Every structure is written in C-alpha cells, then in structure tokens.
Chains A and B, each alone.
Chain A
Amino acid sequence: MTKINDTMDSLQNALPAEQINLNVCAHDWQEAVREAGQLLLKTDAIYPQYIDAMIQTAKELGPYIVIAKGIAMPHAASEAGVKRTALSLVKLAHPIEFGNPDNDPVELVIGLAAIDGKTHVNTMRMLAELIIDPDRLARLFAAQTKEEILQVIAQ
C-alpha cells in the first residue's frame, strides 16, 4: 500500500490535464485564487470550504503566497478541507498584482491541497526543480496549451 502511494507522489500525478486551465480571466488576486481552487474542487480533491481557507490564509499571512517571480501558490492547512493531495495550475490571461512587491505581477497560480505534511514531499521537490531551472520555467511561462504544460512537467 505504501509503495503505491510512494509512486503517486509525483508532479505528473498531482497535476493531470483536468487540473490545468489556460487563458483564465481574473480581475483580482482573490478571483485568481478561486480559479485555482475551482479546479481542485471540480476534480474532487477538496471540499468547497478549502477555497475560502486559501483566501483566508493569504489574507492572514500576507501575499507571501507569491513564491517566485510571477508565480503564486495559494494553499491552506490540511484540516481546512483537503480530500486528497493535488495541485492545480491556472495561467492567467492578464497578470495580476497580489501585493507582493518582490514577485508581482502573477501570471501562474498553482493551487495546492496537501492531505498532510509528508505525502507530497516528492511532488514539491519536482515542482521546485522545475521552477529553479530557467529553461523549463521559461517554457512553462510561454506555454499556450495544456499539452505544452504537461510536456514541461513530464521532462
């Protein structure tokens, strides 16, 4: 059983095509976060209240959720309504200010739902490896289709 879970802890498994959306219009950061949350809700990774918790966490802690230039990763605590560990990716049609002077404006919103602190460790490692690789990151920002995004993820 543990073995199966181990192999599931990968970026490809956490972020399938149905949890990716491109060219999304959002008017402010809360809408952008909700879009990322909706993808997680649609695929039954979270309960509806988790989306509010994502926004609440960002309000309480400030726009620290903008984790790198142009990339926000909204999330809340596992107890806030996570059903299974999953990621979603929203590529905004227009960049949005989240109020983070160092890393605004945001173009990519990565929704994170983590069932606990451990089962997504490898997924986060793979995501970090993607973001610190300038070539792959540039391709992610330039991607126009889900297929292009999935290719960057799978690399």
Chain B
Amino acid sequence: MAKKMKIVTVCGCGLGSSLMAKTSIEKIMKEFGVTASIEASDAGTAKGYPSDLVVTTTMLKPRVGEIPGTPVVAVKSFMNVDELREVMRPHVEEFKKKNNM
C-alpha cells in the first residue's frame, strides 16, 4: 500500500477552520493522487504531532513557529483551494519523490 502523507492543519483552537481545512486539503490530495491522513490541531499542540507537513494561516504562522524537521506552510484562507494547492504542491511533490510515487 502506498505511504500516507501525514498533514496537520492548525487553527487557534483546533475546532473551527482547521477542521474545515481537512475538506479542502482532501480535495487537493485527491488531485495529486496521494493518500493523506489529515489531523486538525491548535497552534500549541501542533508541535507534538509528528507529520510530513503542517498547514496553517498567515495570521497564525508566528504562533506555530518552526517545527524541526517538518515544513510549515501558511495560506491566507483554508477555503481558497487554488492558494492551498500552490502552497502545498512543492511539499507533496517532494513527498512523492521521497517515496518513489
């Protein structure tokens, strides 16, 4: 079975927009042809989740900060599928390459 890409979405409480982001990211990952497991989280606990990519918003990025070994990307809106796709693309491509997909 193909390896799953682990993605963590981050919003302030892990209750609102990060859950909604799962919907838009699932759609994008389908387009990329990569299976993903997507977890919604808040800014504080995101650091504790090992993942392949952290996706947050520009407003919250300073709160998330740097996570050693995990790229953190930010979008203006989780609901903008085009913006999300472009921001995520290099990281999804790299994941595919790394896993010979």
Contact surface of A with B, Cβ cutoff 8 Å: 57, 61-65, 67-69, 71, 73, 75-78, 100, 102-103, 112, 114, 117, 120-121, 124-125, 127-129, 131-132
Q: Can you report 14 residue pairs joining A to B where beta carbons are below 8 Å apart? A: A61-B12, A61-B60, A64-B11, A71-B79, A100-B59, A102-B58, A102-B77, A103-B76, A117-B14, A117-B15, A117-B40, A125-B23, A132-B24, A132-B27
Query: Contact: B40 with A132, CB < 8 Å?
Result: no
- A68 in contact with B77 given A129-B23, A132-B24 (CB within 8 Å): yes
Residues of A within 8 A of B16 (CB): 65, 67, 73, 75, 112, 114, 124
Query: Contact: B19 with A131, CB < 8 Å?
Result: no
Query: Contact: B81 with A62, CB < 8 Å?
Result: no
Residues of A within 8 A of B59 (CB): 61-64, 100
Known contacts A61-B12, A65-B16, A117-B14; 16 further A-B pairs (Cβ under 8 A): A61-B59, A64-B57, A64-B59, A68-B79, A71-B79, A75-B16, A102-B76, A103-B77, A114-B15, A120-B19, A124-B16, A124-B19, A125-B20, A128-B19, A132-B79, A132-B81
Q: Which of A75, A77, A114, A128 counts the most B-chain CB atoms under 10 A from its CB?
A: A128
Contact surface of B with A, Cβ cutoff 8 Å: 11-17, 19-24, 27, 40, 43, 57-60, 63, 76-81
Within 8 Å by CB of B15, from A75, A102, A103, lies: A75
- A131 in contact with B79 given A61-B59, A63-B59, A67-B17 (CB within 8 Å): yes
Query: Contact: B77 with A67, CB < 8 Å?
Result: yes
Residues of A within 8 A of B12 (CB): 57, 61, 64-65
**For the complex of A and B, 6 pairs with smallest distance between CB atoms:** A64-B59, A128-B23, A128-B20, A102-B76, A68-B79, A124-B19
Q: Which of A77, A114, A132 counts the most B-chain CB atoms under 10 A from its CB?
A: A132
Residues of A within 8 A of B40 (CB): 117
Closest Cβ neighbor of A58 among chain B residues? B12
